[in-house]
Structure 1
Amino acid sequence: MKALKALLPLLLAGAVAAGGAQAATKDVTVAVASTFTTLDPYNASDTLSQAVAKSFYEGLFSFDKNMKVVNVLAESYEASADGLTYTVKLRKGVKFQNGEDFTSAAVKVNYERVMDKKNGLKRFVLYSNIARIDTPDDFTVVFTLKKPFSAFINQLAHPSGGMICPKELEKWGAKIAFHPCGTGPFVMKDYNPSEVLKVEKNPNYWRAGYPKVDSITWKPVVENSTRVAMLLTGEADYAFPVPAEQVKQIESKDAVRLDITPSIITRYVEMNLTKKVFEDIRVRQALNYAVNKQALVKVAFSGYADPATGVAPMDVDYAVKLGPWPYDPKKARELLKEAGYPNGFKVELWSGYNHTTAAKIVQFLQQQLAQVGVKASVRTLEAGQRTAMVESVKPEESKHELYYIGWSSSTGEMDYAIRPLLATSSFTPNDSNESYYSNKMVDEKLMEALATTGREKKAELYADIQKQIWNDAPWIFLVNEKNIAGSAKNLTGFYIQPDASFNFTELEVK
């Protein structure tokens, strides 16, 4: 991108000399903090991979930049009075990138694929409440649920629900991750998961006049300072996340704009409850008392975060405020002594990210834990290691002990903030319960809330669940962070949503 911009005056001069017959190519480079785990949206457990997969894939519904549900491949829907049946009318005239028509049959194939537990797709739990899918005609889909769920359309709007061409699914099977074919605005040009994903304009996109750029180059750039340098030199047009400590540096640059927005991202450390030391609730509570969350906000986030006050950020529907856990190292040492660890213990602390902010966070945690006698050795994992070593293992085979990670509740409501992370049915590799926390009351009330349509009763159930989890402390509850992105000033229409996904429908170079 940098070289292209250096040549731009010459290219434009050539275009003028030729009578203005050729317009300048509009290419956009986006620098992101991590590599991509997969381009199969139904099998991605990280927000970034699902976000870049929006280049190719669209769902029936989506979220706008404020997390409000909007129609995409669906034109409308109706819910039955008992909350068990949702009838969705589809948009006509849409084609997949290989020329195949998009119809209700494609919707059925995609959702039945993720609903089949034998396929082992990571988003199985999200869609496990669907009992049956019927297609009375090419542009009508009827979803019948096992239990009523008022936020079902929010689930369908989750970025994992992209429509993959059935013909390509049949051809490639699990290798579809390297051969994306959807209805979206771009097609794949080049892909190396650790280095680059380049996508080019889909010339047959169903939305007239879109996309407004010719290509996007997604570049994983783990090092914070390198990512920022790319933005400042023009090698990247957009960078996310921008490290909080470099906000002031970027603010002083005329050609660059900062976008700082609220998020529903929570950061925490999972304690692996299959390990004997963490079976004792006193140990888990001790580690929560051991960490100064306010200091962490200052040290790692330069103030652009808040100590976690509950299991989910307060902007997630049905969230309740329960904390934060106070910083009390004396109480932590007392609890460790009561649990039989008067001198503390040794433990491994892994990070699910290998960018420099994550390294700073785990180093801070290492220092905090050491003050109460817990000696942690730290290790940061790149995306492939994270998938292989944590997300894809059975509980009895798990090696991690403490695991720093985060979650964005990409449906905007409480079921998705808790069930994939803390339900017994969500133990890896089924979903993302990497602490292997299991509580019968939590499991039962999660399912009861799923079947409850009354808001008052649902709020009561979710409050009970959150209080129980907070007290059981399967995680060290850390912070809810803000989204900080940097953009070239001539770039518009690229938004970071509250769940840290990307909305680039209106992306344009002015």
Structure 2
Amino acid sequence: MTARTVRGAAGATLAAALIAGVAACSGPGVTAAAADAVVVGIATEPESLSPLLGYGKDGNSKIFDGLLTHDADMKLKPALAEALPEVSADGRTYTYKLRGGVKFSDGAPFSAKDVVFTYRTILDAKTNNASKTELDAIEGVEARGEDTVVFTLKYPYAPFAERTVLPIAPEHIAGAQDVNSGDFTTRPVGTGPYVLTTWSKGEKLSFRANPGYWGGEPAVKKFTMAVVKDDDVRATRLRSGELDGAILPPNLAQGFEKDPARLGAPPSGSWGTYAARTFDYRNVTLPTHHQVTGDVAVRQALDIAVDRTAMVDELLEGAGKPAFGPVPTDSPWFTAGTERRHDLDRAKRILDEAGWKAGGDGIRVKDGVRASFPLWYTSGDKIRQDHALAFASDAKKAGIEVKAQAGTWEVIEPRMKTDAVLAGGGSPADPDFDQYLLLTSSLGGDGFNNMARYDNRTVDRALDEARRSGDPAARKAAYDTVQRELVKDPGYVFLTHIDHLYVVNDRWEGLTTQVEPHDHGLGSGPWWNVESWKPRAK
């Protein structure tokens, strides 16, 4: 999409964009001052920088390239391939001709064998890549000479080309070490526009421009991603000049818009704000292994007891949309008629009819079980905290006690089987990318896939039909089935889809935004194309 650059925007315009609580701030020793340097903030960092373990699988990894990439409008375009793939009539064979003259940052030539190595390694059962089911359609991948790669699919998987934005790893380095624990996981070598120079975990990732990049050496010579979570600290360091860019919630971004002189302008220019549409949602997992959230009646009641519109208006200041599933209401994949109206009276009736009767303190009880469960959200994430508290407040009105509490992922993850979590997700590329990992019963309890351990046979069949069909109408019908089942049998309560808002030092040209996924920060934001930025003429 084309970036919407906002300067001095009114509150109504700002309400069209927001942040998900992820991204941005510097740590000790991070300074954003050099004329050819950019420092931006991220709230989380990857566990690994190896694409073999999942890093950069949706593109924009900076260190690596895929066969294809996305432009600003999220349309596929060639990267390491010289053109879009040739697809056989039956939709089961994809042939890629590779770009000539490309080298890895260590000077070694890139060729078809690196592509084959990357995909075969990810699909290897010994590789700890939680996203390998995304490549389930691949039957085989082979090199034909140095410059051609052919994928053969088990079935005509319609969005397969979208999967080939996956970064390519060098066989001569990654293939000579343990895929799960070797040095390549923290000292990667790729063909991308930047080379990692240092990674101080918990503090920053630093990159320098790759002088041999096939797309031309970037004008931004040094690029740093600073790691910090707190919104207020992020804004403070942005004002002080330690950061060139940050993602901020609307109340803090408005401060930069309304009175930049008082709040502090960047040392070498003014501020610009950039709004991005997203597929980024917040939801509450309803674990099937908990005696309260495992009850379908409780899930149905919670799904209509929540006031999604109030959450958008009050928590997001209008910067988002009510969410009724992983698909935003403005997507062509959304199933009309699956919107859930806030209806507290009906929620109470559902619980009454299911035998959940109000106790003396107003909290319902059934067969000696109190309608109470914990809801975890990640520490330092104000957006999740606000959603968790609002959800708990709405649930209490229906007679259900939700005990919201903060913790790190290290604390939360072991509890996900029985405890609810204020979670997030969303992928704009294709509905399969998000819904399969989120909902298929075969991935229940597989890390952060299907965190609720949702188990619905009708949904399982529809998800398989959708990913195995090359017919757009058949795929739409299958995803309609999924969304209608989520009304009858909610495994999650979807709350909001959140837009993202960024504040950036206005000394560079070429900044745009894309339609963004949930995981934004490393590869998204106005710096998704930092390699194309140019200094603004003075």
TM-score (norm 1): 0.87
* Residue in structure 2 matched with residue 372 of structure 1 by the alignment: 398
Residue 163 (str. 1) matches residue 174 (str. 2): no
- Are the structure 2 counterparts of residues 380 and 294 from structure 1 closer, same or farther at C-alpha, using a change threshold of 3 Å? same
- Are the structure 2 counterparts of residues 265 and 28 from structure 1 closer, same or farther at C-alpha, using a change threshold of 3 Å? same
* Residue in structure 1 matched with residue 462 of structure 2 by the alignment: 445
* Residue in structure 2 matched with residue 407 of structure 1 by the alignment: 425
Q: How many pairs align?
A: 478
Residue 90 (str. 1) matches residue 98 (str. 2): yes
Residue 261 (str. 1) matches residue 261 (str. 2): no
* 2:68 maps to which of 44, 61, 73: 61
* Residue in structure 1 matched with residue 475 of structure 2 by the alignment: 458
Contact 1:29 1:238 in 2 (8 A): yes
- Output the CA distance in 2 between the equivalents of 1:172 and 1:187: 22
* 2:180 maps to which of 151, 174, 192: 174
Aligned residue type for 2:119: Y
TM-score (norm 2): 0.82
Q: Which runs of 5+ in 2 are unaligned?
A: 1-25, 358-362, 365-370
Q: CA deviation at 1:399?
A: 4.1
* Residue in structure 2 matched with residue 250 of structure 1 by the alignment: 256
* Residue in structure 2 matched with residue 32 of structure 1 by the alignment: 42
- Are the structure 2 counterparts of residues 52 and 454 from structure 1 closer, same or farther at C-alpha, using a change threshold of 3 Å? closer
Contact 1:286 1:333 in 2 (8 A): yes
* Residue in structure 2 matched with residue 137 of structure 1 by the alignment: 145
- Output the CA distance in 1 between the equivalents of 2:282 and 2:30: 38
Cα deviations by residue, 1:160-198 (Å, 9 ceiling, x for unpaired) = x11112222133522332121111111112213321111
Contact 1:309 1:324 in 2 (8 A): yes
Contact 1:29 1:219 in 2 (8 A): yes
Contact 2:290 2:419 in 1 (8 A): yes
Report the 3-state secondary structure (helix = DSSP H, G, I; strand = E; otherwise coil) of the residue aligned with 1:184. Answer: coil
- Are the structure 2 counterparts of residues 167 and 379 from structure 1 closer, same or farther at C-alpha, using a change threshold of 3 Å? farther
* 2:302 maps to which of 251, 273, 287: 287
Report the 3-state secondary structure (helix = DSSP H, G, I; strand = E; otherwise coil) of the residue aligned with 1:480. Answer: strand
- Are the structure 2 counterparts of residues 171 and 423 from structure 1 closer, same or farther at C-alpha, using a change threshold of 3 Å? same
- Output the CA distance in 1 between the equivalents of 2:190 and 2:63: 5
Contact 1:311 1:469 in 2 (8 A): no
Contact 1:33 1:222 in 2 (8 A): yes
* Residue in structure 1 matched with residue 232 of structure 2 by the alignment: 225
Contact 2:32 2:244 in 1 (8 A): no
Superposition pairs for residues 356-505 of structure 1, below 5 Å?
A: 356-382=382-408, 389=414, 398-410=416-428, 412-429=429-446, 432-500=449-517, 501=520, 502=524, 503-504=528-529, 505=531
* Residue in structure 1 matched with residue 10 of structure 2 by the alignment: none
- Output the CA distance in 2 between the equivalents of 1:380 and 1:457: 42
Q: CA deviation at 1:400?
A: 4.5
Aligned residue type for 1:71: P
Contact 2:31 2:39 in 1 (8 A): no
Cα deviations by residue, 1:369-397 (Å, 9 ceiling, x for unpaired) = 222232222233445556x537xxxxxxx
- Output the CA distance in 2 between the equivalents of 1:115 and 1:453: 23
Cα deviations by residue, 1:342-366 (Å, 9 ceiling, x for unpaired) = 2332211112564222222222222
Cα deviations by residue, 1:6-32 (Å, 9 ceiling, x for unpaired) = 997xxxxxxxxxxxxxxx651111012
Contact 1:35 1:382 in 2 (8 A): no
Contact 2:27 2:226 in 1 (8 A): no
Q: CA deviation at 1:309?
A: 4.1
Residue 106 (str. 1) matches residue 114 (str. 2): yes
Report the 3-state secondary structure (helix = DSSP H, G, I; strand = E; otherwise coil) of the residue aligned with 2:65. Answer: coil
* CA RMSD after TM alignment: 2.6
- Output the CA distance in 1 between the equivalents of 2:532 and 2:115: 25
- Output the CA distance in 2 between the equivalents of 1:402 and 1:468: 20
- Output the CA distance in 2 between the equivalents of 1:7 and 1:440: 53
Aligned residue type for 2:168: M
Report the 3-state secondary structure (helix = DSSP H, G, I; strand = E; otherwise coil) of the residue aligned with 1:119. Answer: coil
Q: CA deviation at 1:103?
A: 0.8
Q: CA deviation at 1:430?
A: 6.6
- Are the structure 2 counterparts of residues 364 and 43 from structure 1 closer, same or farther at C-alpha, using a change threshold of 3 Å? farther
**Which is richer in helix?**
1
Residue 302 (str. 1) matches residue 295 (str. 2): no
Contact 2:417 2:453 in 1 (8 A): no
Q: CA deviation at 1:112?
A: 1.0
Residue 206 (str. 1) matches residue 206 (str. 2): no
Contact 1:106 1:166 in 2 (8 A): yes
Percent identity (aligned) = 25
Aligned residue type for 2:187: H
Contact 2:32 2:242 in 1 (8 A): no
Aligned residue type for 1:40: S
Contact 1:310 1:321 in 2 (8 A): no
Contact 2:27 2:227 in 1 (8 A): no
Residue 276 (str. 1) matches residue 291 (str. 2): yes
Report the 3-state secondary structure (helix = DSSP H, G, I; strand = E; otherwise coil) of the residue aligned with 2:459. Answer: helix
- Output the CA distance in 1 between the equivalents of 2:354 and 2:48: 42
Report the 3-state secondary structure (helix = DSSP H, G, I; strand = E; otherwise coil) of the residue aligned with 2:39. Answer: strand
- Output the CA distance in 1 between the equivalents of 2:114 and 2:32: 44
Tell me: higher relative CO, structure 1 or 2? Use CA pairs within 8 A at least 6 residues apart: 2
